[in-house]
Amino acid sequence: MPNTVHCVKLDKDAEGLERAPYPGDLGQRILENVSKEAWQLWLQHQTMLINEYRLVPIEPKARAFLEEEMEKFFFGGGSDAPEGFVAPDKT
């Protein structure tokens, strides 16, 4: 049976994640406070960050940057797109 959380990103009750998607305290906070829907939004945002900044996710500096952005995305003021970023037109 899926668990329900009050999602801090979407500000609504929604289906929660099945397990912590990230190690440590941040992963536990995400498990307890972030919905599956919001996690998918983060994955899209993270992909954009990786592509736009040309990050190599296995590099420690890139991982630290992405963790900081993840923290801001869910629990801070939000993670911004890179300056000058224009989302692709999906039409």
Identify the CATH number of the domain in which residue 37 sits: 1.10.3880.10
Residue 90 falls within a domain, yes or no? no
**pLDDT digit string (tens) for 39-84?**
999 999 999 999 999 999 999 999 999 999 999 999 998 887 777 7
Residue 91 falls within a domain, yes or no? no
Q: Which of 1-10, 31-40, 44-53 shows the lowest per-residue confidence on average (mean pLDDT)?
A: 1-10
Overall domain count for the chain: 1
Angle at which helix 60-75 crosses helix 36-53, to 10 degrees, equals 140
**Integer Cα distance of 32 and 72 in angstroms:** 16
Residue 21 falls within a domain, yes or no? yes
Q: Domain limits at 31?
A: 4-75
Q: In terms of C-beta density within 10 A (0-12 exposed, 13-18 middle, 19 or more buried), how is residue 73 classed?
A: buried
